[in-house]
C-alpha cells in the first residue's frame, strides 16, 4: 500500500478544494494516484473542478509573451527559477525575453540554442533555471494576434482572432472583444476552443463519472434503480455542464452583468453582427506558472 503523507493530502486539497479527510480517503483508495483520486472524488459527488489535475509542485519564474513588430507572429514562453527574487530580477527577465525571441524565430530546442546564455545567468543568480516550454502562433489570414499576462507573469494567454474584413480590425468594439477574450482565457482556464476538440476518451470519462454519481444519488434515495440506458441518457444531458467549463466558446462570458448568461460564442456573434462581419476565435495557448 502506498504511503500517503500530509503534503500529498494538501496537494490534492489544493487541486480540488475538497476537505483534507476526503482527500486522504481518496488517495488511500487510489494508492496515491492524483488523477484517479480526483476522478473518484467527482464520482462520489464532491464539488471538484473538471480542470486538469496534473499540476506540478509550485515553482517561481515567469510566463512571458512577445509579438513580432509586424504583428504576424506571437510567442508565449515559461521559464522557471527557484525564488521570486530571481524571477523579478532584470537579468532573469532579459533571459526570458531571449527565450521568447527564439520561440518567435521557430526555435524548439531552447536549451541547446540558449545554453551559454543560461549558463551565464545561473552563474550570476546562483539558482537553477529551466526553460520549461514555448509556443508560437502565426497569423493565418486576416485577423489579429494578441496576448495578456496576468499577475506579473504568473499566467498568460496568446490568441488568434480572425475576421472577414480588414476594416473590422480598427473597430473599437473588435479591439475590446479581443482584449476580453485574452482575459477570459487567462481567468476561466478553458482547455479547448470548442466541443470538436475535446478527445473522445475525455468525454467518455465524464459520462462515466456522471453515471456513477447518478447511481450513488439513487442508492441514497432508495427505490427502484433506473436502467443503465436511462442513466446513460441522463448523463449525456449533463455533459453540457462539462463543456461549459472546459470549452472557451461554451463558457459564460467573464464580463456578464449580474443575471446575464451570455456565452463567449454569443458575445463574439453579437460583436460580429454589429460590425457586419464574421469573427472567429481560431486558436489560443494558455500557460500558468508551474501548471
Answer yes or no: do 121 and 103 share one domain.
yes
> Which pLDDT value is given to residue 48?
63
Label residue 226 by pLDDT band (50, 70, 90).
confident
Check which CATH number belongs to the domain holding 123 and give it. 3.30.479.20
How many distinct structural domains can be found in the chain? 2
Q: Percent of the chain scored above 70 by pLDDT?
A: 95
> Which pLDDT value is given to residue 232?
74
Residue 130 lies in a domain: yes
**10 is in which domain, residue-wise?**
1-55
Label residue 34 by pLDDT band (50, 70, 90).
confident
* 17 compared with 199, residue with greater pLDDT: 199
Residue 258 lies in a domain: no
Answer yes or no: do 115 and 93 share one domain.
yes
Write out pLDDT tens, residues 131-149: 999 999 999 999 999 999 9
> Which pLDDT value is given to residue 50?
46
With a cut of 60, say whether residue 57 has pLDDT above it. Answer: no
Residue 291 lies in a domain: no
Q: Widest CA span of the chain, in angstroms?
A: 70
Answer yes or no: do 41 and 70 share one domain.
no
Answer yes or no: do 65 and 121 share one domain.
yes
* 47 compared with 210, residue with greater pLDDT: 210
Q: Which of 55, 70, 101 finishes a domain?
A: 55
Check which CATH number belongs to the domain holding 35 and give it. 1.10.8.10
Question: Could you tell me if 145 and 159 are in contact, meaning their C-beta atoms sit under 8 angstroms apart?
Answer: yes
Q: Is 217 helix (H, G, I), strand (E, B) or coil?
A: helix
> Which pLDDT value is given to residue 58?
46
Amino acid at each position: 500500500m502506498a504511503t500517503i503523507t500530509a503534503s500529498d493530502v494538501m496537494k490534492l486539497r489544493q487541486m480540488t478544494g475538497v476537505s483534507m479527510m476526503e482527500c486522504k480517503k481518496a488517495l488511500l483508495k487510489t494508492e496515491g494516484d492524483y488523477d484517479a483520486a480526483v476522478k473518484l472524488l467527482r464520482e462520489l459527488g464532491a464539488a471538484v473542478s473538471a480542470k486538469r489535475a496534473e499540476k506540478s509542485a509550485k515553482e517561481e519564474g515567469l510566463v512571458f509573451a512577445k509579438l513580432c513588430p509586424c504583428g504576424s507572429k506571437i510567442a508565449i514562453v515559461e521559464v522557471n527559477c527557484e525564488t521570486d527574487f530571481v524571477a523579478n530580477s532584470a537579468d532573469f527577465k532579459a533571459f526570458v525575453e531571449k527565450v521568447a525571441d527564439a520561440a518567435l524565430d521557430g526555435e524548439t530546442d531552447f536549451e541547446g540554442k540558449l545554453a551559454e546564455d543560461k549558463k551565464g545567468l545561473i552563474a550570476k543568480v546562483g539558482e537553477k533555471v529551466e526553460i520549461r516550454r514555448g509556443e508560437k502562433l502565426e497569423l493565418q489570414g486576416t485577423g489579429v494576434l494578441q496576448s495578456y499576462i496576468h499577475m506579473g507573469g504568473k499566467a498568460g494567454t496568446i490568441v488568434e482572432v480572425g475576421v472577414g474584413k480588414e476594416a473590422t480590425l480598427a473597430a473599437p468594439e473588435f479591439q475590446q472583444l479581443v482584449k476580453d477574450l485574452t482575459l477570459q482565457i487567462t481567468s476561466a482556464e478553458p482547455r479547448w476552443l470548442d466541443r470538436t476538440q475535446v478527445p473522445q476518451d475525455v468525454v467518455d470519462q465524464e459520462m462515466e463519472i456522471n453515471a456513477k454519481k447518478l447511481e450513488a444519488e439513487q442508492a441514497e434515495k432508495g427505490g427502484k434503480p433506473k436502467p443503465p440506458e436511462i442513466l446513460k441518457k441522463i448523463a449525456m444531458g449533463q455533459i453540457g455542464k462539462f463543456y461549459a467549463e472546459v470549452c472557451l466558446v461554451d463558457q459564460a462570458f467573464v464580463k456578464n452583468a449580474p443575471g446575464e448568461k451570455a456565452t463567449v460564442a454569443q458575445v463574439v456573434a453579437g460583436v460580429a453582427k454589429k460590425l457586419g462581419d464574421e469573427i472567429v476565435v481560431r486558436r489560443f495557448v494558455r500557460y500558468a506558472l508551474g501548471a
